[in-house]
Amino acid sequence: MRSFITDYLEHLRAECGASPHTITAYKNDLTDFARNLASRGTQTVNHIGSDDIITWLGEMKDQELASTTIARRLVAVKMFCRFLVNEGYISADPSANLASPTLWRRIPDVLSVAEVSSLLSLEWPGAIGLRNRTILEMLYATGARASELVTLKAADVSLDSGYVRCFGKGSKERMLPIAGRIHSLLREYMEASRPELARRRSNPQLFLSYHGRPMRREDIWRVVTTAASRAGIRKKIHPHTLRHSFATHLLEGGADLRAVQQMLGHADIATTQIYTHVDRSRLAEVHKKFHPRG
């Protein structure tokens, strides 16, 4: 259980840009949940049931913990379970049928089309610059996670067929379509910049550091935050923001929800449906702003 919690906390830090305070709070909540499970003989994530979560919540209520604390801990467990399903560690979410507090389904932050354009139009010099432009374009053009980007191999890219073979955690494979600008950038990066960065090393990863080593998720996060600062974007963004923006802009443009689900690699379409809430929120803002009685 501990390794799964560590993996999830790393996901929050490297891909979602969660603050140290948030990560510590989630670690404490999930550690308490795991300790409670172990006390009743549940040792692995595959054996977690909805009854386990309900019993844990009941024990906290008996301890007269504040309702806000119980709600926060339920959020932590629900998000952890959703992560386990999305990554293929478990097949069904044991928390799916539990009533969620209103703070659970937070609408993800997204960039406007204009903000994305300013981010992707930045000039970056040299081989590292071309790599950074390709990374930013790849995040937005495919909706790939930072963790997936750093595990991509050069052999996974098929410029002729226009697809990149992507493997998420749990060895889930999906094909990411590449066309237009990202196709051109990938070709240029792979033919010019990557050989220069490789420096005769034999690393198979697609994206390499200045010293020719595989990039880490932290490196991808740094590229995104640096680009946002240079582009004058004041929102706090991270690699997942571009993934959120990718999905939101597709749906706003009329894309089918199932198609977006497949491109994102979501096991459950309910996860993808959060982006329909983003779209409805945007429509409400437009109505309020422009309708004479909005």
The question of whether 145 is a catalytic residue gets the answer: yes
How many C-alpha atoms does 251 have within 13 Å on its Cβ side?
A: 26
The question of whether 244 is a catalytic residue gets the answer: no
The question of whether 189 is a catalytic residue gets the answer: no
Given 8, 140, 189, 275, which residue is catalytic? 275
Cα–Cα dist 256/248, whole Å: 11
DSSP codes joined into one string, 136-197: HHHHHHH---HHHHHH-BGGGEETTTTEEEEE-GGG-EEEEE--HHHHHHHHHIIIIIHHHH
Given 145, 194, 238, 244, which residue is catalytic? 145
The two tokens of residue 55 are 């019993």
Tell me the Cα Rg of the chain. 21
The question of whether 275 is a catalytic residue gets the answer: yes
Given 82, 240, 244, 249, which residue is catalytic? 240
Place of tokens 């990149």: 164
Given 131, 169, 238, 244, which residue is catalytic? 169
Distances (CA, A) of 284 to 56, 57, 293: 38, 35, 13
Task: Name the phi and psi angles at 82, rounded to 5.
Answer: -60, -40
The question of whether 163 is a catalytic residue gets the answer: no
Catalogue the E-assigned strands of the chain.
Answer: 157-158, 163-167, 173-177
The two tokens of residue 283 are 């429509």
The question of whether 243 is a catalytic residue gets the answer: yes
Contacts of 77 (CB under 8 A, 6+ apart): 29, 30, 33, 53, 56, 95
Catalytic residues: 145, 169, 240, 243, 266, 275
